[in-house]
Amino acid sequence: MSDMIKLARLMGELEEQIVVCMRCGMCQSVCPLFAATGRESDVARGKIALLDGLLNKMFEDPNGVYERLNKCLLCGSCATNCPSGVKALDIFIKARIILTEFMGLSPAKKLILRGMLSHPGLFDRLLEWGAKFQGLLTKPASDILGTSCSRIASPILNERHFMPLAPVPFHRIVSSMDTPAGSSGIKVAFYTGCLIDKIYPNVAQAALDVFSHHGIGVFIPEGQGCCGIPTVSSGDAESFERLLRHNIKKYSPADFDYLVTACATCTSTIKKIWPLMADAGPDNVLKSEVGKISGKTLDINQFLVSKIGITSVNEKETINNLKNAVKITYHDPCHLKKSLGVSSEPRTLI
């Protein structure tokens, strides 16, 4: 059997989902990548057409298709606005996995994903060392934004700004926690996530302050790992499953009422991608545990408004009562608004 015939058979897993696409082009009007490049192959319709081409052996360029798939931000705009209900994100994630299995992971991704990220303890230690010595390779870029940039010319970073690692990650401030439900009668498991743990520990601390203020019990397990979005985005199903099983062992659904995260991407991954990947495997116990946890998972904004009952007040009344009231700009995270449909709750809190 030739390699391309083998690939076509692997792609057959996607056929039922691919044929749902009617090529109407509604995704073109909302795709941020297409807005930047103007290339049909960068929009969902174009990528689905390329996958259909591999499926039906119309051409032989899996590398080119993989490159196009990797440009996708997985923001969910196409799926949210698709009149035919095409599950574009499911298709693109599964296609990345199929192509990665067919072509193999690059050495760099193997090192980062399988050698470091999928081993939470090692990953934590490496990033802690990185925080100590990041000043050797980076320098402050914006005092207002608090960003850094590379000290040396880099083909990867160029002149990009990025947030530096926090001097002390959140798991060093609070390694674990298990407090009973207070006046609210609710206990949550708090999933920190990589970005909040290693770059924005102040966000995690603020979340704990809010939980304490509202009488909410908190469970934080020691040694939680990445939600897995970098691995599955790279098509590395092996590392994703390792992280999934690691995290599932840390959280018993019977020990908390809700699993709350302050990261939109983590929330979306736990609620949507964990079940997607678990359902694709043969382990029924894993499927059951993932289903229970994903069903209890809420974004912190959603949790505070819908479960704790925080409500907004009249805007004019608020401004009249607050001498120092200011106008702010709020950015809707793609995974929060488009993937999870959560948009009014953050505004209620603001």
Q: What is the CATH number of the domain that holds 47?
A: 1.10.1060.10
Maximum average pLDDT range among 118-132, 140-154, 336-350:
118-132
Query: Does 96 share its domain with 178?
Result: no
What is the domain range of residue 186? 170-306
Mean pLDDT of 139-164: 81
Domain-embedded: residue 329? no
- What does the alpha-carbon distance between residue 18 and residue 153 come to, in Å, rounded to a whole number? 42
Average pLDDT, the chain: 92
Residue ranges of E strands in the chain: 138-142, 147-150, 177-178, 187-191, 217-220, 258-261, 297-299
Say which residues have a Cβ less than 8 Å from residue 50's Cβ, sequence separation at least 6: 41, 64, 65, 68
Instruction: Copy the structure tokens of residue 275.
Output: 């079940």
What secondary structure letter does DSSP report for 255? G
Query: Does 174 share its domain with 97?
Result: no
Residue 150, pLDDT score? 83
pLDDT tens sequence across 207-242: 999 999 999 999 999 999 999 999 999 999 999 999
Q: Which of 254, 95, 290, 266 is nearest to 193 (CA)?
A: 266
- Number of neighbours of residue 64 by Cβ within 10 angstroms: 13
- What does the alpha-carbon distance between residue 252 and residue 229 come to, in Å, rounded to a whole number? 21
Domain-embedded: residue 229? yes
Residue 160, pLDDT score? 83
Does the pLDDT of residue 132 top 90, yes or no? Answer: yes
CATH of the domain at 234: 3.40.50
Domain-embedded: residue 244? yes
Number of domains observed in the structure of the chain: 2
Does the pLDDT of residue 313 top 70, yes or no? Answer: no
Query: Does 92 share its domain with 195?
Result: no
- Would you say the pTM of this structure is higher than 0.85? yes
Query: Does 210 share its domain with 300?
Result: yes
Of 69, 103, 137, which residue is a domain's last? 103
Query: Does 267 share its domain with 179?
Result: yes
Q: Which of 86, 100, 108, 117 is nearest to 14 (CA)?
A: 86
Query: Does 280 share its domain with 176?
Result: yes
Does the pLDDT of residue 153 top 60, yes or no? Answer: yes
Domain-embedded: residue 311? no
Residue 4, pLDDT score? 81
- 16 and 94 Cβ atoms separated by less than 8 Å: no
- In SS3 terms, 272-327 reads as HHHHHHHHCCCCHHHHHHHHHHHHHEEEHHHHHHHCCCCCCCCHHHHHHHCCCCCC
Domain-embedded: residue 67? yes
pLDDT tens sequence across 167-215: 999 999 999 999 999 999 999 999 999 999 999 999 999 999 999 999 9
Say which residues have a Cβ less than 8 Å from residue 3's Cβ, sequence separation at least 6: 102
Domain-embedded: residue 117? no
Query: Does 98 share its domain with 203?
Result: no
Domain-embedded: residue 43? yes
Q: Measured in whole angstroms, how far is the alpha carbon of residue 75 from the centre of its chain?
A: 10
Say which residues have a Cβ less than 8 Å from residue 159's Cβ, sequence separation at least 6: 149, 150
Domain-embedded: residue 127? no
- What does the alpha-carbon distance between residue 153 and residue 134 come to, in Å, rounded to a whole number? 15
